[in-house]
Chains A and B, each alone.
Chain A
Amino acid sequence: MAPPLKRGANVALTKEIPSLAGVVLGVRWNAGGDQALSDNLVAATMLCGADGKVLSDKHFVFFNQLVSPDASVAQMNRLVGDDKEQIEVELRAVPTDIERIVVMLYINDGSAVKRSLGQLRSCAVRVLNLDGNAELVRSEELATALSMETAVVLGELYRHDRDWKFRVVGQGYAVGLKGVAEAYGVSL
């Protein structure tokens, strides 16, 4: 197994595995015993164009909008392994105007409890081969760099020439989901 990929580093996917038809983005975290924290953690995937912004508010895949309009990206209900959330990406079905698929985690602010990502014991993102679920790459530990942030961009799949690559980002946003939404053009 390859060593964990550090923040900022990237790896080629389809160039290394030309037969790679799809991947699974797996997000995992450990909230300790904090039910209020773990119940309010939401994984979301943003499908962005060349300008780095989402194509529309329908290109924000999360628990209340499980499939992208082109059906190439879908959040799963049944998981394989011990990820907390898994998102399937059919690489060959992704429309050509989508250049980046960004996976993030945020804490939903909807109840009386307030939490931050620094309270997570651990948090990581990994990429599996959709066919067979073999792990291709896993990020380094991302929770250590988080404190008061309530949203974090974990990593992204992106096109490079005719190939797909994956980069670990690990960028936290103190302003939370609103900060991510502004950066990626999501109209909430």
Chain B
Amino acid sequence: MSGVPDPARAPSRPDLTFLRHRSPAIVPRPEPPRPEPPKPEPPKPEPSPIAGAGGTSLDLGIAAPPDPAPPPTAPTAGRHQPLRVRKARRTVNGTVTRLSATAPSVTLNRLQSGIGSLEFSLSRAAGAGELSLGCVYQLQSRIEGVIQTSGATTGPPGSPLPLLRMKMRADGDSVSFDLRQITTLRRALLYGYSPSGAPTSWSGTIVASTFGGAQLEIPLAGPSSGGTLAMVTIYNVDGELVLRSEMEQFRGRPQRAAEAFGFQPWIDG
């Protein structure tokens, strides 16, 4: 492969800010013996989630999908390190799992995802202004629905024992999933919106805990606005719930946020 510049001998580029923190020199490894291509390496645990720190991994600071594909093999193994895929982050006994921009997701195991209920509550300082919760969801059947403070408060419609329930309390609304029925859920998006449309500060935290007591905290983030904040996505991946802090703002009604995340527009109740 001639003509490819060698990073170890490249001139420094002080004009490019993202290259200021240079990774250590890459020493090309000797070509592996042919004819068999080397076996894919198992995924290594990522030492630091901070983007730009070390290695040649494609580290964008976003957690890898829970089922990492094996890294690419063979002819380029001499020039490049294999893709380092981060293991799914899990809760740790006795500690609070905080989801933020640098470490946005966590995977609950099958017991945490299937026992009791999972209730996402909005915890906010008194006088912080109005903030309503909603949740758009998709079932394994691909049927979609919405529950919201102003609107249907249980879902799917017509269920005597609903999968999703909104609870409106003076100290903060919450969205609760009945985990006995979690196998019917494919994915969901928890969001907040300003009920009057007036700008509201997105201050506060979404808190949740598993049946076994693992605590989750998802601080809200973003400048004040009168629109919608997509807060947390919940994906059912092979029986394990993957929760991800999104904190993405949208102007206008929650429908726009739902569409951006691939949910079909719904008819307002």
Q: B-contacting residues of A (Cβ < 8 Å)?
A: 35-36, 39-40, 42, 57-58, 60, 62-65, 108-113, 177, 181, 186-188
Contacts and interface: CB of A to CB of B under 8 A. Distances in A.
B95 to A, nearest CB: 14
A111 B212 contact: no
A116 B19 CA distance: 63
Contacts of A177: 115, 211
Given A64-B110, A64-B111, 10 more contacts: A35-B160, A35-B161, A36-B160, A39-B180, A40-B161, A109-B116, A109-B117, A110-B178, A112-B165, A188-B111
B210 interface: yes
When A and B form their complex, which 10 residue pairs have the shortest distance between CB atoms, in order from nearest?
A188-B212, A64-B114, A110-B117, A110-B178, A65-B110, A108-B180, A111-B178, A64-B110, A110-B180, A64-B239
Interface in B161-196: 161-162, 165, 177-183
A62 B161 contact: no
Contacts of B111: 57, 60, 64-65, 186-188
B112 interface: yes
A168 to B, nearest CB: 25
Contact of B180 (A35, A42, A57): A42
A64 B213 CA distance: 19
A106 to B, nearest CB: 9
Contacts of A63: 114, 183
Contacts of B213: 188
B17 interface: no
B180 A40 contact: yes
B2 to A, nearest CB: 50
Contacts of A42: 180
